[in-house]
């Protein structure tokens, strides 16, 4: 096949090259996130061990937060160790979220739709963090720049088996809390899937 010298002499369309580069980055990012979601779904189905879930989330923190820096196993002095601390940098300042994770097979609700002892244990852990932070504000501000008025997240269990009325109870509990939220691992997966869909739609 003979080369068309006229075509070769044409200047490179930098805009077209840039578009191809962006398309490649988008393709790579989308496929990467899809792979992470699939791997995490398989892990949740195969293993309920908190340690294995912790390690996976440390490796792929995008599952916890898609826009911010994530610190695993952040110590609160010598008293407590958080599973993760999320750092959101906003124009008005920095906001931190402390995360407590539980086993994926943790039962969230009893048959009467009250919260289980495992859930309440995780809730108590977060309340203990809050008390400690109130008493040690100078210390924590020396460790985390701009630390004030943090939020808290508890992650545990699966949505499967939770009735619609049970989900209503969970939503009501979340509304009743000032700065604590509870999510199942399915909620976490749903959120990152929405993030992925936004990339596909708007990138």
Structural domain boundaries enclosing 126: 48-189
pTM for the whole thing? 0.84
Cα–Cα distance between 164 and 34 in angstroms, integer?
28
Torsion on CA atoms 135, 139, 140, 146, rounded to nearest 10: 110
Residue 73 lies in a domain: yes
Residue 39 lies in a domain: no
- Tens digit of pLDDT for each residue in 45-93? 987 789 999 999 999 999 998 878 899 999 999 999 999 999 999 888 9
Residue 31 lies in a domain: no
Cα–Cα distance between 56 and 126 in angstroms, integer?
22
Alpha-helix runs per DSSP H in 136-184: 137-143, 164-176
Residue 114 lies in a domain: yes
Residue 23 lies in a domain: no
Of the pLDDT bands very low, low, confident and very high (cuts 50, 70, 90), residue 193 is very high
């Amino acid at each position: 096949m003979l080369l068309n010298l006229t075509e070769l002499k044409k200047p490179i369309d930098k805009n077209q090259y840039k578009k191809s580069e962006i398309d490649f980055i988008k393709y790579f990012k989308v496929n990467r996130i899809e792979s992470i979601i699939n791997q995490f779904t398989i892990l949740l189905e195969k293993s309920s061990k908190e340690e294995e879930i912790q390690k996976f989330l440390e490796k792929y923190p995008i599952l916890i937060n898609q826009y911010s820096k994530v610190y695993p196993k952040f110590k609160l002095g010598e008293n407590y160790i958080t599973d993760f601390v999320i750092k959101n940098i906003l124009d008005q300042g920095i906001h931190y979220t402390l995360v407590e994770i539980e086993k994926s097979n943790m039962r969230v609700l009893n048959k009467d739709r009250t919260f289980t002892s495992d859930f309440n244990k995780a809730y108590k852990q977060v309340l203990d963090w809050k008390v400690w932070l109130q008493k040690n504000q100078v210390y924590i501000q020396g460790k985390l720049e701009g630390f004030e008025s943090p939020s808290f997240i508890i992650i545990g269990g699966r949505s499967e088996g939770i009735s619609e009325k049970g989900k209503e109870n969970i939503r009501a509990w979340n509304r009743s809390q000032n700065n604590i939220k509870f999510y199942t691992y399915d909620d976490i997966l749903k959120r990152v899937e929405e993030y992925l869909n936004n990339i596909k739609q708007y990138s």
